[in-house]
A and B are shown apart, each in its own frame.
Chain A
């Protein structure tokens, strides 16, 4: 059994877990350490309320709200100034801390391992268990260290690092491991880039991803709402010198190129300068309408989407904005930016980034998970080919028949302008 320090719910699964607990007459053991937000189903159109484009979505929102109030859980509601995607707002508010255990019924909870927390995604039953007992029953995970040595070249981002790792080691390449990301190229990343990297540890089937906290971590956290002042003495939270891992992988960061996915698994990724591999999965190729040996660069796109818990933070938006400033989205391309949190949205507007995007022809929306997945409401035109800063390119993930190519926000921005998949 392991003590659970922080639990985070969202409206997709929050009401189901809390209602189930209530019907079993089980109470939340410490509601002060449980948080909830409306991010999964909530609309991202301006002027939103509880009504959603997803049929019946308002029920998820109203039931989650009622269940959180009944249980005494802190909720960041639809139009709360702190509303946003779980894995964006939790760090923003300092809810995740180094050395804590953090769980949420959401597979991308591993994002928050970027702070040196043991943070992992669980199911609804496990969420009930964590809330009712303050603990989880966990088989000790195996350990893996992925060391990125050397320096990234220009135009290469944390998103490219994780897609490179996925392409090399597969969607089961980290199965059941806690994966520590280490090395010169990791410590050189800012906190938002570290979150992007850890976010996709789950796409390796890892238990979680984690990065040793350092000065950058403490600088980021200092002064945030739920962070103690002064900062606690967390000691030296890092792997011992000479520590033995169950598995070690070494990657030369300088050899990583801008990446893009070609298929229906995040591991189906290649260099933007490369071609679809000869041994490519036939079903994936058929779904994506591609052939082996085909280049992805210059492939025409219908939609460009910047958002999701992977790449929607202020630094992502700043980098994307520099590529669209004073330019126009290609004719016929639908382009959208969904800021990762209401706070990111306000910060971007204060810097004028919203104006840069809207002048170029992007839609500028409210915060939420939005079009990262299709919940039954909003989607893209049938058959659309989408370049997306998100984390999953599964069949139908963004809507029936939608063909998703995942890449960095830079690649999405440059491709929106060019109307085709483009090296930024």
Chain B
């Protein structure tokens, strides 16, 4: 295991941020830590790289006890923080130079590595402009480039794509996949379920400082909900009318006026809704069940067992 947490707890004053959390991140995969804001994801990451000390439990990274070997462990991992930490007056190249020195990189290795990460994250066109003139997407790529300076064996990304436009997100995902393919273990936190589903080999859903579910995204989906989802707008009264008669036994998730049904085969339900609606063409969304559904189901929006 690259990262191993055993019954790790951390509280800040009265607030229990991480509650007897255990986690195993095997080598060479992309592992997602999912959860709502305040679930304890960032605290967990900070404990993994040794900046936050747990109140109890044991943490090993690369098989080393992080509390005893913080320098040795951090020399082998890279962290992209949630908030970009860049020196705005300096260029990307100069930022990378400063950060490379934190890892004690020396010339000519320092310049060579700067060139490599600039190429890898396609920062070349803007490498000599002050960072404050760069777009949010460029700044984020630079923040990730910084964390690659030491060729990390473990890359920790705290919400890497929050606030970025879709094109930049896609580009970053493909870079992260390339790193994984080259053998880097990636540990990513996100509250974007599409990101987790497309990027991660395994995910752990964290709620109130505990892992409530863990496994490959497809397995989690299969274990909790049927594979097809039908989404529509209707009030609870309308819903009862639509499903009247020989409706299939089904699970549903309601958020306000939006209801989603989960079934093995959506066709009979769609036909029934069309029939009950008597020609009125209510917009329906039919899609595969995804991690978002599992997440909503587990994080407590009212998921009710079927009729």
Answer whether A and B are interacting partners: no
Interface residues, chain B, with chain A CB atoms under 8 Å away:
none
Interface residues, chain A, with chain B CB atoms under 8 Å away:
none
